[in-house]
Amino acid sequence: MDPTAASAMPQAPARPVRRIVIAGGGTAGWMVAACLSKTMGRLLDIQLVESDEIGTVGVGEATIPPLQIFHQLLELDEREFMAATSATFKLGIQFENWRNGNDRYIHSFGTTGKDHWTAGFQHFWLKGRERGLARDYGDYSLELRAAQDSRFAHLPRGGLSYAYHFDATRYAAFLRTFSESHGVRRIEGKIRAVNLDAASGHIRSLTLDSSASIDGDLFIDCTGFRALLIGEALKVPYEDWSHWLPCDSALAVQTASVGEAVPYTRSIAHASGWQWRIPLQHRVGNGLVYCSRHMSDDEARALLLANVQGEVLTTPRQLKFKPGQRREVWRHNCVAIGLASGFIEPLESTSIHLIQRGLIRLMQMFPTAGISAADIAEYNQQAQTEIEHIRDFVVLHYHLTQRDDSAFWRECRAMNVPASLRHRLALFGETGRVFRGPNELFAENSWIQVMLGQGLMPQQHHPVADLMGDGELTDFLESIRGTINRTVSQLPPHERYVQQYCAAPAR
């Protein structure tokens, strides 16, 4: 969006923001409620409006490591949270059949190898590969090797980077209890009308189906894909990214566990999309993300049910979505967080992270003394830049493939990707270099693992790697690999560690 657009809008006279109305519950609403009540609850009156009759999307059960920062902010006990949500640990994502239809690689958390001040580890690995001295790139990542061996433990000084798989419905309930203990008031009811101030365009109140009126100074739109406030009431347009992200449908189903929970998410590519498999303590979350132009809903349902393991516990639930973002996620006195602000797709587990980033950004720019046009413009600019970086990373998986076995994959290979992504691919392909811009979510190691995993091998490496002789380079690489193998061998099995650390109570 144009950073000056907000300043051109009619602005109500600045007044202190004290009354917060969160429209919608679910993961987004209760994450916002928990954060605001914990950090600023003494200064604010916080109400959350939701209806038991309206279901939540709640299929996102895989997360990424920054969620630990959010939990530290709330001072949550990790054991208590994990037991309450039947959580397991996650060290990365295993991608299957994405490159050529018969392959697999892991995008793990953490780092790989050891960087030199002049060049990243990948340059030394490339030189070692050229000389026949290097093993698989993943052999030099602790998190990746632990995931392959299905081992886990907390290590000193954060030595193992991890996230979680958890039951999203139980997570929302857990945060609701936390929020209400910090003063948040939940109001049951459906939103019937969003009432605007004619002069300023700001939201004045919400009218519920009971005819109750909920007034506020700042409204947080967590109404999901419906976007009742930011979209329907304030008419903020939606930017469609379907030409880059072809999948627009998903089916989700739960199955009984048939084996030990592994510490990684599985992402299995099919002819017109991909399937997720997420192990929890009490069940497995499954889903199929697909492109409706290439696969009918009935075909998708049959494909998903034919590729799950264990007893099917729920009826497959269907979701329709349009990848993209709101042109503005903060307009007037309304901030959209979660699906109301935009949606990429489930790949790489970024939805909950974008909720977290949206609310942390709101905390940093909280309009205590009154809503500022400059804050609105800055918030929107930061949100746009951040989601575009994530968009590029997700598009990478679809576009950088050798698959040509279906019209879907041929379209993905041929798509005209964003210029920002073309630059990253050209830079790595020609020089082996990667970069990380300010506030980008995915670090260099993530880009390297996925680009290598999808088949992009750099044409050259940094010349500093040529300064090592065969003996020195072998010792360097083997020292890293040996340390990782020794550490992994001492870790307990993931399933056993979870049961000892945070076993969920029987229900």
Query: Domain 5-87+166-243+322-390 in CATH: superfamily?
Result: FAD/NAD(P)-binding domain (3.50.50.60)
pLDDT of residue 490 exceeding 80, the answer is: yes
pLDDT of residue 173 exceeding 50, the answer is: yes
CA distances from 220 to 17, 71, 74, 196, 338 (A): 13, 21, 19, 15, 10
Q: What is the pLDDT of residue 59?
A: 55
How many alpha carbons lie under 13 Å from residue 416 in its C-beta half-sphere? 0
pLDDT of residue 13 exceeding 60, the answer is: no
In 280-353 the beta strands, taken as DSSP E runs, fall at 284-290, 317-320, 324-326, 330-331, 334-336, 342-343
Nearest to 222 by CA among 86, 405, 358, 401: 358
Q: Cβ(426)–Cβ(480) under 8 Å? A: no
Q: Tell me the average pLDDT across 368-387.
A: 95
Q: Cβ(179)–Cβ(34) under 8 Å? A: yes
The strand pair at 45-50 and 185-188 is best described as parallel
Q: Which of 90, 127, 235, 322 is flagged as catalytic?
A: 90
Which tens digit of pLDDT belongs to each residue from 232-267? 999 999 999 999 999 999 999 999 999 999 999 999
- Mean pLDDT value across the chain: 94
Which tens digit of pLDDT belongs to each residue from 84-130? 999 999 999 999 999 999 999 999 999 999 988 889 999 999 999 99
Under the banding of pLDDT at 50, 70 and 90, the label for residue 472 is very high
Which tens digit of pLDDT belongs to each residue from 402-438? 999 999 999 999 999 999 999 999 999 999 999 998 8
- The whole-angstrom separation of Cα 360 and Cα 11 is 24
Rg (CA), the chain: 24
- The whole-angstrom separation of Cα 222 and Cα 211 is 21
Question: Catalytic residue at 114?
Answer: no
Q: What is the pLDDT of residue 487?
A: 98
Q: Tell me the average pLDDT across 332-337.
A: 98
Q: What is the pLDDT of residue 176?
A: 97
- The whole-angstrom separation of Cα 6 and Cα 16 is 19
- Least trusted range by pLDDT, from 3-12, 33-42, 408-417, 493-502: 3-12
Q: Cβ(13)–Cβ(170) under 8 Å? A: no
Q: What is the pLDDT of residue 11?
A: 52
In 131-223 the beta strands, taken as DSSP E runs, fall at 163-165, 185-188, 191-196, 203-208, 213-215, 218-221
Q: What is the pLDDT of residue 4?
A: 47
CA distances from 475 to 133, 258, 462 (A): 10, 42, 19
- The whole-angstrom separation of Cα 368 and Cα 364 is 11
Under the banding of pLDDT at 50, 70 and 90, the label for residue 506 is confident
- The whole-angstrom separation of Cα 408 and Cα 271 is 7
CB atoms within 10 A of CB 141: 28
Nearest to 59 by CA among 182, 225, 199: 225
Q: Tell me the average pLDDT across 361-377.
A: 95
The strand pair at 45-50 and 19-23 is best described as parallel
Q: What is the pLDDT of residue 3?
A: 46
- The whole-angstrom separation of Cα 299 and Cα 438 is 42
CB atoms within 10 A of CB 426: 10
Q: Cβ(57)–Cβ(64) under 8 Å? A: no
Give percent above pLDDT 70 in the chain: 96
Q: What is the pLDDT of residue 6?
A: 45
Under the banding of pLDDT at 50, 70 and 90, the label for residue 158 is confident
Nearest to 396 by CA among 449, 469, 325: 449
Which amino acid type is present at position 348? Answer: E
Dihedrals phi, psi of 208, to nearest 5 degrees? -95, 170
Nearest to 208 by CA among 50, 351, 336: 50
Which tens digit of pLDDT belongs to each residue from 480-489? 999 999 999 9
- Lay out the sheet containing 342-343: strands in order across: 238-240, 324-326, 342-343
pLDDT of residue 60 exceeding 60, the answer is: no
- The whole-angstrom separation of Cα 287 and Cα 278 is 9
Q: Tell me the average pLDDT across 38-67.
A: 85
Tokens 């998410």 locate to 265
The span from the first CA to the last CA of the chain, in angstroms, equals 48
Q: Quote the pTM value.
A: 0.94
Q: Which residue has the higher pLDDT, 157 or 83?
A: 83
User: Where does the chain hold its CATH 3.50.50.60 domain(s)?
Assistant: 5-87+166-243+322-390
Q: Tell me the average pLDDT across 358-376.
A: 95
